[in-house]
Amino acid sequence: MTQVAPQLNDIANGSKNRLFPKDEAAHRWYRFVLSFPPQLVREYIDRFHLTRKSLVLDPFCGTGTTLVEAKKQGVRSVGLEAHPMPAFASGVKTEWSPDPRGLLEHAGRVAAKVEKRLASGTETLRSLPPETDKLLLKGSIGPLPLHKTLALLDELRGEASSLYYKHERLSLANALVQDIGNLHFGPEVGVSKKKKDDAPVVASWLSNVRTMAEDLEELRGKEHVPSTVWCHDSRHMLELIPDGSVDGVITSPPYPNEKDYTRTTRLESVILGLIHDRKGLRRLKQGLLRSNTRNVYKDDRDDRWIGGFPKIKKIAEQIERRRIALGKTSGFERLYARVTKLYFGGMAQHLSVLRRALRPGARLAYVVGDQASFLRVMIRTGQLLGEIAESLGYEVEALDLFRTRFSTTTKEQLREEVLVLRWPG
């Protein structure tokens, strides 16, 4: 079943998720640290023979790598993303109609207003409401950079009817992560020991706007290729995607590990007003695929979808036995076995629902990785998802090696693979 794609494996493992200069346009506007690379998307667009008449779906579109690259290749696309921050980013990154010169001029006027307000020294230091502030990782942004950021946001809200509003907000989100805040990624998000007392908020934001304008100039002529993004759960997509409309799927769902994507994007999600309080954060997590113990709830029932898969049950039992043997008793550790079943159950539900949207002969590429986050019990994600897909009527074409990556948990190289499926219809 295993087939290695030569074009992908010509690239060194350490560089496989790297964004090369020739690919930067739109992709660099906002991107997860470990996003899969544009060249992988091109590889499967070509391999699946997707054309201008085709429709490609990314049901876990994240920050829009598949959608942006499909648009560059002239292929229509639709993306689903349940997390509002990356969904917002994907929508902006595939919107190439703003006039570059107009964007720069508008941002310049906003910047001048903000700088004048800040220079007056008449405003007291702005802060977030206490309930909202509690959502942030402690120390993730300093008081003065926060004050300047909120002043800029205030001016932007006054321009909400502008054609450039969304692009300017995304530029600020990217600046928060890269320049304004105190975050570091390795790849987990954390707060740097050395905190910034101040940051060039407006200058960093304007720099990102200039980058956008440069890219929009480069992308002229391709803005009319359709691309749609829905902030929606891919386990419940039937009302959004017409039956028999999808020719190809290129995606990377969350992996079964302890990576909490709401934590990774917390700073920009809170500052941009996408999450306001604990209740809002809970609602967000409840709409996500269960891939980590931070979004598991007592009423979850996705595991019912994989009741007939003894391998998954065996892995869950192995995790639970290891937990007991090691004396691990925290609330999160007690959930390791359950989240494993919920993850594969949620993916089974997604693959089941997806079938109606696929054209006969549609081909699918799922970028997934082996995991050992749950007490070092190995989870062969691609193999297990392939078996689930086969039980639902899909054909498994290949399990391509994309790259290997070093696991800090097991001190071993783990496989990251592309599960290639075909829907016979």
Cβ distance 366 to 421 under 8 Å? yes
Confidence band, pLDDT 50/70/90 cuts, at residue 188: confident
Nearest in space to 27 (alpha carbons), one of 61, 88, 68, 58: 68
To which residue do tokens 């759960």 refer? 233
pLDDT value of position 35: 84
Is the confidence at residue 1, as pLDDT, over 60? no
pLDDT at 39: 96
Say what the pLDDT of residue 11 is: 43
d(CA 382, CA 392) in angstroms, rounded, equals 15
> To 10 degrees, what angle do helices 165-175 and 143-157 make?
170
Predicted local distance difference test score (pLDDT) of residue 8: 45
Which pLDDT belongs to residue 413? 85
Predicted confidence at residue 13, as pLDDT, reads 54
Instruction: Please provide the distance, in angstroms rounded to a whole number, between the alpha carbons at the two ends of the chain.
Output: 21
Query: Confidence class of residue 7 from pLDDT cuts 50, 70 and 90?
Result: very low
| C-alpha span between 255 and 251 (Å, rounded) | 12
High-pLDDT (> 90) share of the chain, %: 87
Q: What is the per-residue pLDDT for 166?
A: 98
**In this predicted structure, what is the pLDDT of residue 189?**
87
241, β-bridge pairs: none
CATH class of 6-96+223-257+292-423: alpha beta
Whether residue 368 contacts residue 380, with contact meaning beta carbons closer than 8 Å, is answered with no
> Would the pLDDT of 369 be above 80?
yes
323 pLDDT higher than 90: yes
Q: Does the pLDDT of residue 252 top 80, yes or no?
A: yes
pLDDT (mean) for 392-403: 96
Q: Is the pLDDT of residue 199 over 50?
A: yes
Every domain range in the chain assigned CATH 3.40.50.150: 6-96+223-257+292-423
Mean pLDDT across 181-185: 92
pLDDT at residue 10 tops 70: no
Give the predicted TM-score (pTM) of the model: 0.94
| 334: three-class secondary structure by DSSP | helix
Report residue 6's pLDDT band, with 50, 70 and 90 as the boundaries.
very low
pLDDT at 409: 67
Confidence (pLDDT) at 15: 59
Residue 248 CA: distances (Å) to CA of 157, 315, 365, 413, 417: 38, 31, 8, 30, 18
Tokens of 204: 């960093």
Q: What is the mean pLDDT of residues 275-280?
A: 96
* pLDDT at residue 9 tops 60: no
| Whether 103 contacts 209, CB under 8 Å | yes
Between 410 and 253, residue with greater pLDDT = 253
* pLDDT tens digit sequence for 337-348: 999 999 999 999
Looking at residue 63, what is its pLDDT? 96
Question: Rounded mean pLDDT of the chain?
Answer: 93
